[in-house]
């Protein structure tokens, strides 16, 4: 009898390991498919870049391809108490007790439960969904919200489900997550509603009241040094150390957001970069935007490892910015702020010419 039980237990363990192995093989196959697709798109992108070189055979201008929006499909469906449109709360905050369950059913990912790892550390999330049961084919430019007692306003100043693009957005409280199911409170959608996406609610980003006034003052009061650069101090005190405002005491976010390990970088302008910036229209707004972008380090983890201390370029408005990161000293220096339309002597835009543009930076 003991041998039979041991054999049965061993068989169950082997079957479990076999299921795990099959899932891993399935994941690896999907990764291979994704890599093949990525390789194909990368090759096409390189070919397109090569075609734009000045020495490439001139071609007649082609009308830009007018593409429609891609077809979006749902990642899952919602179960709620509301089988009909009539009686559904207009907002989740009106009826926080109403329950809902979102079940992920998308086939785009192999294991839906893996896609939810980490979401349990948040207390709230945004649900983006389709108003799938709107019956009217005609969208009015003005609607009459219930609170206005018949007065009409533009549809885009309301949350009416009768919209040109019938997309809904709701903020709900996460109660628990079990495998591929998210149980939440504050449901204000119809039973069977298809979901397009979900995103965690982060008050530091989603609530305008959480924006750091202190950081604004530091950017506005930046001191331009008289040596080779203009330094801007960058700390993240106010946004992270503030107390939760009324109504947000129950909001929970992960520690990796609340106590982010990465500090803001120190942004410096070289004399040349600062001089070029001062020639631009809306100099102050452009300067603040450049600082805000760079102090948060826009590079991906991949680019940090691949490029290291090489020049990093990006565009803001009609300007092309060239900078270099110093990861050891947590600084980034801006060397060039040039109009994106400025042409090089070889006939290409200045910032696209690898030979002459690098010579200008030296």
Among 301, 351, 354, 308, residue whose Cα is nearest residue 327? 308
Q: Report the Cα–Cα distance between both ends of the chain, in Å, rounded.
A: 82
Q: Based on the number of CB atoms within 10 Å of its own CB, is 119 exposed (0-12), middle (13-18) or buried (19 or more)?
A: middle
CA pair distance 284, 289, nearest whole angstrom:
9
CA distances from 63 to 56, 66, 67, 70 (A): 19, 9, 12, 20
Please state, in angstroms and rounded to a whole number, the distance separating the CA atoms of residues 58 and 47: 15
Non-local CB neighbours of 186 within 8 Å, separated by 6+ positions = 92, 93, 95, 96, 98, 100, 170, 171, 172, 173
**Same-domain status, 125 and 180:** yes
253 and 229 co-located in one domain: yes
Region 149-169: what's the mean pLDDT? 87
Average pLDDT over residues 290-294: 89
Q: Provide the angle, in degrees to the nearest 10, between the axes of the packed helices 283-295 and 213-220.
A: 120
CATH of the domain at 279: 3.30.2310.20
Lowest mean pLDDT among 262-276, 294-308, 345-359: 345-359
Is pLDDT above 60 for 219?
A: no
Q: Point out the domain boundary residue: 176, 201, 226.
A: 201
Q: How many Å apart are CA 288 and CA 283, to the nearest integer?
A: 9
Task: Indicate if 88 and 179 belong to the same structural domain.
Answer: yes
Residue 308 lies in a domain: yes
Listed residue (284, 267, 289, 282) closest to 335, CA to CA: 267
Q: What distance in Å separates the CA atoms of residue 148 and residue 150, rounded to the nearest whole number?
A: 6
Q: State the Cα–Cα distance between residues 13 and 326, nearest whole angstrom.
A: 52
Most confident of the ranges 77-81, 145-149, 237-241: 77-81
Task: Report the pLDDT value the prediction gives residue 345, as an integer from 0 to 100.
Answer: 67
Question: Are residues 21 and 96 located together in one domain of the fold?
Answer: no
The predicted pLDDT at position 193 comes to 93
Contacts of 341 (CB under 8 A, 6+ apart): 318, 349
Residue 13 — pLDDT band, cuts 50, 70, 90?
Answer: confident
pLDDT at res. 88: 79
Q: How far is CA 334 from CA 232, 312, 338, 358, in A?
A: 12, 9, 11, 14
Rounded CA-CA distance 158/142 in Å is 9
Tell me what percent of the residues of the chain surpass a pLDDT of 70: 75
Between residues 288 and 109, the one the model is more confident about = 288
Q: Is pLDDT above 80 for 48?
A: no
Task: Convert the pLDDT of each residue in 253-287 to its tens digit.
Answer: 888 777 665 678 899 999 999 998 888 878 888 88
Indicate whether 330 pLDDT > 80: yes
* Bridge partners for 230 per DSSP: 269
Domain count, the chain: 3
Residue 1 pLDDT class (50, 70, 90 cuts): low
Same domain, 230 and 186: no
Q: Which two tokens stand for residue 138?
A: 């005609």
Tell whether 52 is covered by a domain.
no
For residue 82, the enclosing domain spans 76-134+144-201
Contact 188, 170 (CB under 8 A): yes
CATH of the domain at 107: 2.40.30.70
Q: Mean pLDDT highest for which of 142-146, 178-182, 327-331?
A: 178-182
**Residue 43 within a domain:** no
65 pLDDT higher than 80: no
**220 and 167 within one domain:** no
Structure tokens at 306: 């691949």
pLDDT at residue 53 greater than cutoff 70: no
Query: Contact 143/153 with Cβ under 8 angstroms?
Result: yes
pLDDT greater than 80 at residue 250: no
Q: What is the dihedral of CA 298, 301, 302, 305, to 10 degrees?
A: 100
From CA 194, how far away is CA 199, in angstroms rounded? 15
- Do 120 and 184 reside in the same domain of the chain? yes
Question: What pLDDT score was predicted for residue 210?
Answer: 65
Asked if residue 249 belongs to a domain, the reply is: yes
What integer pLDDT is reported at residue 195 of this predicted model? 95
């Amino acid at each position: 009898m003991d041998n039979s039980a041991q054999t049965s237990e061993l068989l169950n363990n082997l079957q479990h390991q076999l299921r795990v192995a099959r899932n891993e093989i399935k994941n690896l196959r999907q990764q291979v498919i994704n890599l093949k697709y990525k390789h194909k798109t990368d090759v096409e992108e390189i070919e397109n870049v090569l075609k734009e070189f000045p020495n490439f055979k001139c071609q007649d201008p082609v009308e830009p391809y007018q593409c429609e929006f891609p077809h979006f499909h749902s990642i899952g469906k919602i179960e709620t108490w509301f089988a009909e449109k009539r009686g559904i709360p207009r907002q989740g905050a009106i009826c926080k007790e109403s329950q809902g369950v979102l079940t992920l059913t998308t086939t785009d990912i192999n294991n839906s439960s893996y896609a939810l790892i980490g979401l349990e550390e948040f207390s709230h999330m945004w649900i983006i969904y389709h108003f799938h049961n709107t019956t009217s084919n005609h969208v009015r430019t003005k609607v009459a919200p219930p609170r206005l007692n018949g007065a009409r306003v533009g549809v885009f100043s309301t949350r009416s489900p009768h919209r040109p693009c019938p997309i809904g957005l709701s903020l709900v409280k996460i109660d628990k997550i079990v495998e591929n199911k998210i149980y939440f409170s504050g449901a204000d959608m119809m039973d069977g509603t298809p979901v397009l996406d979900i995103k965690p609610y982060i008050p530091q980003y989603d609530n305008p009241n959480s924006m750091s006034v202190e950081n604004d003052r530091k950017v506005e009061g930046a001191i331009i040094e008289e040596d080779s650069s203009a330094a801007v101090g960058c700390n993240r005190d106010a946004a992270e150390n503030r107390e939760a405002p009324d109504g947000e005491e129950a909001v929970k976010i992960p520690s990796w957001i609340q106590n982010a390990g990465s500090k803001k970088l120190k942004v410096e302008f070289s004399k040349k970069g600062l001089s070029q910036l001062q020639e631009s229209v809306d100099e102050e707004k452009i300067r603040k935007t450049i600082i805000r972008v760079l102090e948060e380090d826009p590079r991906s983890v991949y680019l940090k490892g691949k490029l290291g201390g090489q020049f990093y370029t990006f565009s803001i408005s009609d300007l092309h910015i060239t900078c270099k990161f110093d990861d050891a000293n947590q600084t980034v220096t801006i060397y060039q702020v040039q109009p994106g339309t400025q042409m090089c002597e070889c006939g290409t835009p200045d910032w696209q010419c690898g030979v002459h543009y690098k010579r200008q930076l030296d």
